[in-house]
């Protein structure tokens, strides 16, 4: 019998490895540090062993390829008991199989790059709207969320969200909190108080948007219009897609924009360089689609920020059946977590992986990690539907911010918090001065 073909059980942290993991958790007060220690000591496949929570964690290009491309049919996206499924019900993000593909076909066209380029003006106009209220200092985590919401609601749902921003702020934050990691991971049946009213308020808002679009008799070319006109989409299914896009499409951009500002604040020399690039290319004119290819340093800064702090730092799956991944046995129904964060800091594929170094994305002189090592937007057929949207939005918004304002990061402790996204915690206070 050839024993080399028999998959090994998943390694987990016990004995001295367990102590090391606990020590890094205590020192850094962050599960991310503990994950990094587990990766260093056990390699690209390992298991977390907490009571009721035993996911297999996969890292690195080969495992990413397995889950996202070659073996993707072996995994399910939907886990009925997870809060994200309870919240989004039949949203694109939590559907599997042919129903997922049907939803995706309807929802994709408004997010094609050529459609997005028509929104560039809105991207910088909303930026100006938000910055017009700034007086000396502001929390960029809050400001970037406002901006991401105004942009998303306008471009995909055809709504000016400004008048509703204050009223809907808490319901949106509660929805995000509802799906963020918490004690429910260890006790899935734990009752969750304080969500019923805000989530109902959010639903009422979305159903009202749908009703108003139907009364207007209209479809329209935006996402809401396409959903309203598509056969087989009742109001409930449309609500699920709107909520999916609202959460997945703004919380991620919020985190990205806020992290870029943190990193620029922490690296004033790079901030000065990128501000000079923006000044040279734009002068005093607002950014246009033609400028997108003319801002290479800004492009590298966005990519490097997504590497260090990928807003979606985990891909969450369930093994449909017993699997062999990289020579390890993953039992059926095991939760499988693809760690984008650890792949992006894999010491075998990046030089000085924990350092902020935008030039590593220079095409000629930069790092050359194997394909599917860098996956801020996932990969394969089920990659991020909003990847082009997010990248164009980030570039236009940041170019406009840098063109119009000087930023200084205030002294504060900022850590990476694992909420629904990986966000700078507790906020990002910056001095802001109009140029």
Q: How far apart are CA 370 and CA 136, in angstroms?
A: 44
Q: Binding residue for ligand HEM (CB under 6 A) from 249, 265, 286, 424? A: 249
Q: How far apart are CA 342 and CA 347, in angstroms?
A: 9
Contact call for residues 332 and 321 (beta carbons, < 8 A): yes
Q: Binding residue for ligand HEM (CB under 6 A) from 36, 47, 127, 244? A: 244
Please tell me whether residue 373 binds ligand HEM under the rule CB under 6 A: no
Q: Taking the CB of residue 107, how many other CB atoms lie within 10 A of it? A: 20
Q: Binding residue for ligand HEM (CB under 6 A) from 377, 409, 422, 430? A: 377
Q: Please give the C-alpha separations between residue 348 and each of 57, 62, 342, 430, in angstroms, as whole numbers.
A: 18, 13, 11, 35
Least separation, in Å, of the C-beta of 249 and ligand HEM? 3
Instruction: List, in order, residues 6 or more apart from 92 with CB less than 8 Å away.
Output: 100, 103, 104, 107, 241, 244, 385
Least separation, in Å, of the C-beta of 350 and ligand HEM? 18
Please, which residue, 13 or 369, has the CB nearer to ligand HEM? 369
Please tell me whether residue 275 binds ligand HEM under the rule CB under 6 A: no
Least separation, in Å, of the C-beta of 244 and ligand HEM? 5
Please tell me whether residue 386 binds ligand HEM under the rule CB under 6 A: yes
Please tell me whether residue 256 binds ligand HEM under the rule CB under 6 A: yes
Please tell me whether residue 389 binds ligand HEM under the rule CB under 6 A: yes
Please tell me whether residue 171 binds ligand HEM under the rule CB under 6 A: no
Size of the site for ligand HEM (CB under 6 A): 23
Sign of the dihedral defined by the CA atoms of residues 300, 148, 399, 275, in that order: negative
Q: Taking the CB of residue 31, how many other CB atoms lie within 10 A of it? A: 15
Give the residue closest to ligand HEM by C-beta.
Answer: 386
Please tell me whether residue 120 binds ligand HEM under the rule CB under 6 A: no
Please tell me whether residue 378 binds ligand HEM under the rule CB under 6 A: yes
Instruction: List, in order, residues 6 or more apart from 432 with CB less than 8 Å away.
Output: 131, 134, 136, 137, 138, 405, 406, 407
Which residue's structure tokens are 């009925």?
80
For residue 410, what are its two tokens? Answer: 């205030």
Please, which residue, 253 or 339, has the CB nearer to ligand HEM? 253
Q: SS3 helix, strand, coil % of the chain, rounded to 5? A: 55, 10, 30
Contacts to ligand HEM from residues 100-119, by CB under 6 A: 104
**Cα maximum dimension of the chain:** 74
- Name the burial class of residue 143, with classes exposed (0-12), middle (13-18) and buried (19+) by CB atoms within 10 angstroms of its CB: buried
Contact call for residues 228 and 214 (beta carbons, < 8 A): yes
Helix, coil or strand: residue 22: helix
Q: How far apart are CA 400 and CA 412, in angstroms?
A: 25
Least separation, in Å, of the C-beta of 58 and ligand HEM? 12
Please tell me whether residue 141 binds ligand HEM under the rule CB under 6 A: no
Please tell me whether residue 261 binds ligand HEM under the rule CB under 6 A: no
Please tell me whether residue 158 binds ligand HEM under the rule CB under 6 A: no
Nearest 5°: phi and psi at 383? Answer: -75, 180
Q: How many CA atoms lie within 13 A of 82 on its CB side?
A: 21
Please tell me whether residue 382 binds ligand HEM under the rule CB under 6 A: yes
Least separation, in Å, of the C-beta of 164 and ligand HEM? 19
Least separation, in Å, of the C-beta of 377 and ligand HEM? 5
Contacts to ligand HEM from residues 69-98, by CB under 6 A: 92-93
Site string for ligand HEM, 299-338 (x = CB under 6 A): -----------xxx--x-----------------------
Least separation, in Å, of the C-beta of 23 and ligand HEM? 30
Please, which residue, 59 or 245, has the CB nearer to ligand HEM? 245
Please, which residue, 353 or 378, has the CB nearer to ligand HEM? 378
Please tell me whether residue 376 binds ligand HEM under the rule CB under 6 A: yes
Catalog residues that contact ligand HEM under the rule CB under 6 A: 92-93, 104, 244-245, 248-249, 252-253, 256, 310-312, 315, 376-378, 382, 384-386, 389-390
């Amino acid at each position: 019998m050839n024993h080399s073909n028999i998959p090994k059980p998943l390694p987990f942290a016990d004995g001295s490895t367990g102590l090391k993991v606990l020590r890094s958790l205590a020192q850094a007060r962050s599960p991310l540090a503990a994950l990094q220690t587990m990766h260093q000591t056990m390699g690209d496949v390992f298991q977390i062993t907490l009571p009721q929570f035993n996911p297999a964690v996969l890292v690195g290009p080969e495992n990413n390829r397995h889950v996202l491309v070659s073996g993707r049919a072996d995994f399910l996206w939907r886990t009925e008991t997870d809060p994200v499924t309870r919240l989004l019900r039949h949203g694109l993000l939590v559907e599997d199989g042919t129903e997922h593909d049907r939803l995706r076909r309807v929802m994709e066209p408004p997010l094609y790059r050529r459609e997005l380029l028509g929104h560039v003006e809105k991207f910088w106009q909303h930026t100006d709207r938000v910055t017009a209220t700034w007086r000396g200092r502001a929390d960029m985590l809050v400001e970037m969320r406002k901006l991401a919401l105004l942009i998303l609601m306008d471009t995909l749902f055809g709504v000016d969200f400004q008048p509703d921003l204050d009223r809907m702020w808490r319901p949106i934050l509660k929805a995000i909190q509802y799906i963020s990691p918490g004690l429910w991971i260890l006790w899935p049946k734990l009752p969750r108080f304080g969500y019923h009213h805000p989530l109902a308020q959010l639903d009422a808002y979305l159903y009202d948007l749908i009703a108003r679009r139907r009364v207007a008799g209209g479809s329209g070319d935006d996402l809401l219009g396409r959903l309203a006109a598509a056969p087989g989409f009742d109001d409930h299914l449309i609500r699920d897609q709107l909520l999916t896009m609202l959460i997945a499409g703004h919380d991620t951009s919020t985190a990205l924009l806020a992290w870029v500002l943190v990193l620029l604040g922490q690296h004033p020399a790079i901030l000065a360089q990128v501000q000079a690039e923006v000044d040279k290319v734009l002068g005093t004119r607002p950014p246009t689609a033609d400028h997108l290819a003319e801002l290479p340093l800004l492009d590298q800064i966005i990519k490097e920020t997504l590497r260090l702090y990928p807003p979606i730092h985990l891909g969450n799956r369930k093994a449909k059946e017993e699997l062999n991944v990289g020579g390890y046995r993953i039992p059926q129904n095991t939760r499988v977590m693809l760690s984008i964060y650890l792949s992006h800091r894999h010491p075998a594929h990046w030089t000085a992986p924990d350092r902020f170094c935008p030039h590593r994305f220079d095409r000629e002189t930069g790092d050359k990690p194997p394909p599917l090592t860098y996956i801020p937007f996932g990969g394969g057929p089920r990659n991020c539907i909003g990847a082009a949207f997010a990248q164009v939005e980030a570039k236009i918004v940041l170019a406009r911010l840098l063109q119009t304002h000087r930023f200084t990061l205030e002294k504060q402790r900022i850590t990476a918090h694992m909420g629904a996204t990986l966000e700078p915690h507790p906020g990002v206070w910056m001095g802001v001065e109009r140029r």
